[in-house]
Amino acid sequence: MAKKVNFRQAHLNNANLEKAYLSCANFTQASLNYCNISYANMRKAELNNAFLTGANLTQTYLGESNLIGTCFTSTIINKTYFRESQYDKNTQFDSKLNLKEMGLIYVECNGVTLADVLNAINYISSCSQKYLGVSLVIKYWHSSKANNEWLNKFQINHEGRVIYLGREKELLNDFQIQWYHQWVREYFKSCSSIISNFPQLIQTDLSSSPYHLYLPSAA
């Protein structure tokens, strides 16, 4: 059993991973060319920019996985479960596959990095503290955050600063940006329970923010 193990940038060419339990494993930028991964459980695996050329994915479970930029050229795809896995324009599948029928979800990466979002959210946090103080800011960031696997990588320290347990240079997809916007809007709503005109107050601060391109409306 190898749940949540880190194989980032690992060279696993020709490995035999048949029936392996690899749920949530990180294979980012890994080489899995000509591997036997048949009947393996790879639910929610991170396979972005990984290489699986010629790999055997017969009845492999890959539901809800990250397939952004993954190479599946000449891969054996036979009863492979891909439902709700995400891919983008750089993901390489053989042309004969009907990705929509297989339940894959196309996402558009738009150049926004994790660092951009962190800078924006910490600008909000800093501005909020002059109205609410550090304790309430920390409380509302926590209470407003949905229980989502990606959002759970964000933590708030004792100074009210938001940190991320991952790579700050990674590009975000549309779904992640939507989750981020939802979190911030719920935060604004929570702050309004103490200061009714908080959205108007914070919007004045945000209008002059150097990170305004990455900020949702406070309204």
127 lies in the same domain as 162: yes
Asked if residue 49 belongs to a domain, the reply is: yes
pLDDT tens digits, residue range 113-123? 888 889 999 99
User: pLDDT tens digit string along 180-219?
Assistant: 999 999 999 999 999 999 988 888 887 777 776 677 765 5
User: Token digits for 153?
Assistant: 């990588």
Same domain membership, residue 121 and residue 71: no
Confidence of residue 110 (pLDDT cuts 50, 70, 90): low
Q: Are residues 100 and 120 in the same domain?
A: no
Which residue intervals of the chain are DSSP H helices? 114-144, 174-192, 198-206
Using the 3D structure, point to which of 106, 139, 174 is the last residue of a domain: 106
Give Cβ neighbours of residue 210 (< 8 Å, ≥ 6 apart): 123
pLDDT of residue 163: 95
**Residue 17 domain-assigned (yes or no):** yes
95 and 118 fall within a common domain:
no
Q: How many domains in the chain?
A: 2
* Report for 9-18, 102-111, 173-182: range of highest mean pLDDT: 9-18
Do 143 and 204 sit in the same domain of this protein? yes
Per the listing, tokens 């890994």 go with 30
Same domain, 91 and 124: no
Domain limit, last residue, from 106, 137, 169:
106
With 0.85 as the threshold, say if the pTM is over it. no
Query: CA-CA distance, 119 to 105, in Å (whole number)?
Result: 28
Structural domain harbouring 2: 1-106
Claim to verify: residue 90 and residue 172 sit in the same structural domain? no
Higher pLDDT, 81 or 94: 81
Model confidence at 173, pLDDT cuts 50, 70, 90, reads confident
Q: Do 123 and 40 fall within a single domain?
A: no
In this prediction, residue 85 has a pLDDT band, given cuts at 50, 70 and 90, of very high
Mean pLDDT of 155-180: 86
Last residue of a domain, one of 106, 122, 155: 106
CATH number for 50: 2.160.20.80
pLDDT above 60 (res 2): no
- pLDDT, residue 77, reads 94
For residue range 20-53, what is the model confidence (pLDDT) as tens digits? Answer: 999 989 898 899 999 999 999 999 998 988 999 9
Q: Which residues contact 12 (CB under 8 A, 6 or more apart)?
A: 30, 31, 32, 35
- Pick 59 or 4 by higher pLDDT: 59
